[in-house]
Structure 1
Amino acid sequence: MPRRPTEADVLALWEGGLDSAPATRALLIASSATASPDEEAVADLPLSAVNSLLLDLRCRMFGDALPCTTDCPACGESLDVTVAAEELRPAPAGGRTGEAHAVPATATSTTGGFTITYRALTGRDVRAVDPAAPGARRTLVRRCLLGVSPPVDDLPDEVLDALAPLLAELDPGADTVLTLDCPQCEHRWQAALDIADHVWTDVSAYARGVLHDVHSLARAYGWSEADVLAVSPARRRFYLEASAG
């Protein structure tokens, strides 16, 4: 089982993800949750397995309760919701979820007169496609095609659009959706939760907190970053309080 990341590990993870695109950053964080971090190996996992690794890291570092805030689309009421990580655990897809040997599930469907064999989306697919580019959704679907009969150079757009929701059914844990109820107006709706973005927010806040400690203690005692990280958090709090007083 991978060890809990040290403060130095978190700082390196934060620094590595600062200038990365969200999809690349998600793979970087997920790979750090494995026993032998390998971003390229994680990139070939189905998205459900990537999400499981993200949750593994989140639980080891910050616990299994994920606080979320959203607004009711009906009345605008702000809601604070806490979700348990286990509620977000994606279903297995082609292997035991979260393990490096998991492979994308495959399926065959007849749509628009074509018999199409396809696989689930992987982290590599998402990383390769700019979500803001025109036709990004269809580009992702094309990457998942394994076979088309009768063969064609390119499937019609309407066929690609019909396949898109089938990819989500093939790997249910690829998208995390919460069902929410507004206590103010009793409206019920579904809201997407980006696990990678949530974990990155936690990592970033934690790293900035550590760096703030480094800054304060460097000013107070002339310590280097390595000196500060060598001191336990409990002792560090004492030194911070003492230097502030």
Structure 2
Amino acid sequence: MPRRPTEADVLHLWEGGLDSTPAARALLIASTAAASHGGQDIADQPWSAVNSSLLELRCEMFGDALPCTTDCPACGDSLDVTVAAEELRPAATRARAGEEAGAVPATDTWTTGGFTITYRALTGRDVRAVDPTAPGARRTLLRRCLLSVSPPVDDLPDDVLDALAPRLAELDPGADTVLTLDCPQCAHRWEAALDIADHVWTDVSGYARRILHDVHALARAYGWSEAEVLAVTPARRRFYLEVSSG
């Protein structure tokens, strides 16, 4: 039976993710979600499994409607979009089914430019290990996915690595979440990436700060410790907050 994360879990996630990289934060939150469902360590599973666990936690804690804001690349108009989790669930469902079976990254073999390359899907550990701001980060990620190259070479040419990138997306389609959007002002249609990890971190961070605000207010009003505040149900806590500020 899945265990819904407690407020103490949320505070732990928030504190652990404050000084972490986005990839490390994503793995921290996804690992918490996977553990609540009895799953295994998610770091060595494909990135689609990370997204699946993040979406699962997001729906359990904050609902299945994801509000997003973006700008139209054609006219610059700001667009508010609410994405239903169901729109993201086909890829997430496939990832969850594989995770329950103890998923390992899918592999494939491809011949191009005189090389026969066996490669695998990106994992959480791969993404966490590479600084996205470092020079050549994209190709460093691609090299981590190489299992074998024939004939052997010290390094594949850049054009071969670049050609490999779209094949990784095909190998693990749930790793990237792309939405098709239409601008109501100019009718421009485009594709925009949705970073589930960033979205969930924003939710977790906002929730943690609200909890800590409650702790601060009730500690001042009644002298309670953090543990004592968290032991009070949210409904009763709201009452105490109202009467203490009246």
TM-score strictly above 0.5: yes
1:86 paired residue number: 86
| 1:118-156 C-alpha deviation (Å, 9 max, x unpaired) | 000000001111111111111111111111111111111
1:124-143 mapped onto 2 (5 Å cutoff):
124-143=125-144
Query: Which structure shows the higher helix fraction?
Result: 2
Structure 2 counterpart SS, 1:35 = helix
133-142 or 89-98, which moves further after superposition?
Answer: 89-98
CA shift for structure 1 position 99? 3.0
Q: Report the CA distance shift for 1:26/1:94 in structure 2 as closer, same or farther (over 3 A).
A: closer
Contact 1:45–1:123, Cα closer than 8 Å, also in 2: yes
Asked whether 1:160 is paired with 2:146, we answer no
Contact 2:95–2:174, Cα closer than 8 Å, also in 1: no
Contact 1:48–1:97, Cα closer than 8 Å, also in 2: no
Q: Report the CA distance shift for 1:172/1:29 in structure 2 as closer, same or farther (over 3 A).
A: same
2:74 paired residue number: 74
> What is the letter of the counterpart of residue 240 of structure 1?
L
Aligned-partner Cα distance in 2 for 1:95–1:234: 33
Q: Report the CA distance shift for 1:8/1:138 in structure 2 as closer, same or farther (over 3 A).
A: same
1:60 paired residue number: 60
Contact 2:183–2:189, Cα closer than 8 Å, also in 1: yes
- RMSD between aligned residues: 1.9
Gaps of 5+ in 2: none
Contact 1:91–1:97, Cα closer than 8 Å, also in 2: no
Aligned-partner Cα distance in 2 for 1:100–1:17: 28
> What is the letter of the counterpart of residue 62 of structure 2?
F
1:21 paired residue number: 21
Q: Report the CA distance shift for 1:36/1:216 in structure 2 as closer, same or farther (over 3 A).
A: closer
The count of residues paired between Structure 1 and Structure 2 equals 245
CA shift for structure 1 position 39? 10
Aligned-partner Cα distance in 1 for 2:40–2:150: 31
Asked whether 1:49 is paired with 2:49, we answer yes
Aligned-partner Cα distance in 2 for 1:219–1:193: 40
Percent of paired sites with the same residue: 82
Gaps of 5+ in 1: none
Asked whether 1:172 is paired with 2:173, we answer yes
Q: Report the CA distance shift for 1:45/1:162 in structure 2 as closer, same or farther (over 3 A).
A: same
Q: Report the CA distance shift for 1:147/1:124 in structure 2 as closer, same or farther (over 3 A).
A: same
Asked whether 1:151 is paired with 2:152, we answer yes
CA shift for structure 1 position 95? 7.9
Aligned-partner Cα distance in 2 for 1:223–1:58: 30
Structure 1 counterpart SS, 2:147 = strand
Aligned-partner Cα distance in 1 for 2:99–2:188: 34
Aligned-partner Cα distance in 1 for 2:209–2:103: 34
Contact 2:39–2:99, Cα closer than 8 Å, also in 1: no
Asked whether 1:115 is paired with 2:116, we answer yes
State the TM-score, normalized to the length of structure 1: 0.95
After superposing on structure 2, the runs of 4+ consecutive aligned residues of structure 1 that deviate more than 2 Å are 35-41, 91-100
Aligned-partner Cα distance in 1 for 2:155–2:22: 29
State the TM-score, normalized to the length of structure 2: 0.95
2:104 paired residue number: 103
Contact 2:2–2:37, Cα closer than 8 Å, also in 1: no
